[in-house]
Structure 1
Amino acid sequence: MASPTARRRVARVTATVVDADGARSRSERVVGEEPLEIRVAGPDGVVVATTATMRTPGDDFALAAGLLHAEGVIATPEDLAEIRYCTDVDEQHYNVVTVHLRRPPRRDLAARSLMATASCGVCGTASIDELCARVPVVSDGFVVDHAVLAGLPDALRAAQPLFDQTGGIHAAGLFAPDGTPLVVREDVGRHNALDKVLGTRFLDGRLPAGDAIAVLSGRVSYELVQKAAAAGVPVLVAVSAPSSLAVATAERLGVTLAAFVRNGRATLYAHPGRVAVPPPAGSHAGAR
């Protein structure tokens, strides 16, 4: 059920470079950014437009599946009949996908907007309460060595070919406990990148991902913790900062949240017990 790369992931533009030697024109690569509308068709044939997002073309079917799974609309690959591009919308037909379901949506599509937004205040608290009501707390038992965890952002960066070409794209990945990359995807949007990663695992029938670590190239918002928790991911690693709502959500849903992971150091905001930390320098473990 993999989606073809129908639109351009990288585009060529003409730019003017200005420096001490003057101005000159040259061709530059920039990351592709186009809209994707996601529609859901129930077994009764009724089609509902659920959301639209700006994304980098590629892995569109995984993105749609990942988003709908995180939102509780689908739970298993058996819920899906097929995902296909819509061909009745003129030149934008590769920017619209319809997810056809074998059974009614597991969640009312009108209950909550699926647009990715930054939550805050009372609405944020309500969002966490609703999420905790439908997403089980991530189980314990997973442990990652601190040295492996600290090296994951560099491992993610090494798996970003589009960043090498454009310098302007996010990435998300799933990694094994020893740091081996399992799935890595790039996208202009942080949410989209993680949806593509988790959607790939969903379509492969490999969720929950209780044996993997999710790694993000940017900051951590509530929505990203939501996606990781819904997929059963025990550890979420980010290069940059978390929001207060992200920390609160990770704490309640049992996700280990590690942020500012760079230069051999990590700040653990929730459930630090899954990270195996060495004894302080100069200590003598086991000494009496």
Structure 2
Amino acid sequence: MGRVTTHRPVLRLDGGRVARRSDTLTVEEPLELRVDGRALAVTMRTPGHDVELAHGFLLTEGVIQAAADVAVARYCDGKGPDGRNTYNVLDVALAAGVPPPDPGVERNFYTTSSCGVCGKAALDAVRLRTRFSPSGDPARVSAATLSGLPAALREAQRVFASTGGLHAAGLFRADGSPLAVREDVGRHNAVDKVLGWALLHGLTPLAGCVLLVSGRASFELVQKAAMAGVPVLAAVSAPSSLAVELAEEQGMTLVGFLRGETMNVYTGAERIELDAGVGAERESEVVG
């Protein structure tokens, strides 16, 4: 398997001091995903949990809906300069009766570590339908529980602690108990890995769960959460306008700027329980 981190020499400048040292970097390598022997996607990712990544990607693209839809996932021979297998080509064989990816949906399936939606032919192509829509999920989560999740996520980010160069996605139950955390150089890959883990463990749809991401909440991350039936998506940074629109359409609770006891609830506020003795403040309307 590929390495998660590597070391490079750097020249460290600190005020008037100069020193040479070794720095730990997050590894970024391409993964080519094939379905039944045909190339489907290439994504730049951090090696590790590639089978989960493949399952999560295929789930959120609407290709599969259950772990049983995949017969086998195996690495293909991909030789590096040293003749060793790079483990950068993964072939997924679909189970009998599972239709292949729809060739009628035009998409450039090359995705970078910073953006997984790039190359979609049209916006409508990514508004995928799912039988796992979270709109009817009665889950409720307390504001106090949400406040504690970022610290729990950071504690589980082992590679981030040494490199500072990874995003993370964590799945939690509504009571705050952790299910799984995955790291990757790409936000969307981290989400695919953790959703793939859930699929492989028979937990989809993820009713009554919270998905926490370490960066911003983009349209694509909301779409991925919806495809897995996640009722609550929280981010430590900002959501985009389109992310908020999609979360509202899907009946999902979207929380942004989750930092300590402060947070913005953009959609689905009915799922958030305030602590005892705390009332909602009446805000005056500001007319600009």
TM-score range, shorter chain: 0.7 to 0.9
Cα distance change of structure 1 residues 240 and 197 upon mapping to structure 2, 3 Å threshold: same
The answer for unaligned runs of 5 or more in structure 2 is 281-288
Distance between the aligned counterparts of 1:204 and 1:135, measured in 2? 16
Code of the residue aligned with 2:159 in structure 1: it is L
Confirm or deny that 1:187 pairs with 2:177: no
Aligned equivalent of 1:29: 24
Instruction: Tell me the residue number matched to 2:57.
Output: 67
Match of 1:90 among 79, 85, 108: 79
* TM-aligned CA distance change 1:282 to 1:195, over 3 Å: closer
Alpha carbons 1:238, 1:259 under 8 Å: kept: yes
In structure 2, what is the equivalent of residue 44 of structure 1?
Answer: none
Higher helix share: 1
Q: CA deviation at 1:211?
A: 2.3
Alpha-carbon spacing, 1:188–1:165, altered in 2? closer, same or farther (3 Å): same
1:99 is aligned to 2:89: no
Q: Partners in 2 of 1:171 and 1:110 — Cα distance?
A: 33
Give the letter aligned to residue 55 of structure 1.
R
Alignment of 1:42-81 (within 5 A): 47-81=37-71
Percent of aligned positions that are identical: 45
CA contact (8 A) 2:72 2:94 kept: yes
Give the AA of the match of 2:17: G
Q: Alignment partner for residue 111 of structure 1, among 99, 105, 109?
A: 105
Unaligned runs of 5+ residues in structure 1 are: 1-5, 42-46, 284-288
Conserved 8 A contact 1:81-1:102: yes
Could you report, residue by residue, the CA deviation over 1:168-199 in whole angstroms, capped at 9, with x for unpaired residues? 11000101112121100000000000000000
Residue 3 of structure 1 corresponds to: none
Whole-angstrom distance in 1 between the partners of 2:11 and 2:254:
42
TM-score, structure 1 as length reference: 0.87
Root mean square deviation of aligned Cα:
2.2
Give me the whole-angstrom Cα distance separating, in 2, the residues matched to 1:226 and 1:172: 15
Could you say what secondary structure the match of 1:138 adopts? helix
3-state DSSP of counterpart to 1:72: coil
Instruction: Quote the residue 2:9 is aligned against.
Output: 14
* Alpha-carbon contact 1:38-1:52 (below 8 Å) kept: yes
Residues 32 and 110 (structure 1), Cα distance of their counterparts in 2 relative to 1, 3 Å cut: farther
What is aligned with 2:138?
141
Q: TM-score, normalised by structure 2?
A: 0.87
Deviations along 1:194-245, whole A, 9 cap, x unmatched?
0000001111221111121000000011110111111111100000001111
